[in-house]
Chains A and B, each alone.
Chain A
Amino acid sequence: MKNNLRVERAIKNMTQGELAELIGVSRQTINTIESNKYVPSTVLALKIARVFEKPVENIFILEEED
């Protein structure tokens, strides 16, 4: 699974720390999601999508091998 988190953050001009605080996780978690090291739970993915006011599928995308 890949994601557009970094791009979406750039559009909103938001730091990893700000996003982390909004959804109640650590900055490390946002960082590892962005670098595809951690797959967030459905709840967390939905929270992130709500911050960017987009459907989850626009931010998190399944890949061939998933």
Chain B
Amino acid sequence: MKSRFLFPHKWSLIGALLFIMGFVVAALNYHYKDSIDVMQGDTTFQINEVLHDVAVLLWLGGLFLVAFSKERIEDEQIAQLRLDSLQWSIYFNYAILALCIVFIDKWHVMLGVAAHFIFTPLLFFIVRFKWAIYQLNRSLKNTD
């Protein structure tokens, strides 16, 4: 059984690098905020905006590649775990979102929190999927 629409295995490494680069860009943006402010006119706003966009895109792209690169041996059991984890992450994501809606009363705070839900489905999926694979490998060691 073949999983479709997956990137080659090695691309997950590229994904991890992109994800880390996202933090570097975000840190640079934060660190040089004041010096950029010295510049004139609309340029300040644009540079901060662009760097912010770049950071978010790096995080998204990185998470995406890590989540949807093939495993070293991508067989039908891995495909099953992938599907289970995807379902689990969507369930979990919306459960957390519902909790946030119930417990965060101020709507502008809620908007700030909701912005993070751009990343969480991918993040929850990766954690759940890698955990399942770790458990699988551990069960193999136990039987040796």
Contacts and interface: CB of A to CB of B under 8 A. Distances in A.
Given A41-B1, A43-B1, A25 B76 contact: yes
Interface string B73-87: 101111010000000
A22 B78 CA distance: 18
Interface stretch (B8-16, B48-56, B115-123, B134-142): B134-142
B35 interface: no
A27 B140 contact: yes
B139 A32 contact: yes
Interface string A15-29: 000000000111111
A50 B76 CA distance: 18
Given A41-B1, A43-B1, A26 B78 contact: yes
A28 B137 contact: yes
A26 B75 contact: yes
Contact of B76 (A27, A29, A31, A37): A29
Nearest to B76: A41
Interface in B53-104: 72-73, 75-78, 80
Interface in A1-51: 24-29, 31-32, 35, 37-38, 40-41, 43-44
A31 B1 contact: no
B40 interface: no
B1, B77, B143: most-surrounded residue (chain A CB, <10 A)? B77
A10 to B, nearest CB: 15
Interface of B: 1, 72-73, 75-78, 80, 136-137, 139-140, 143
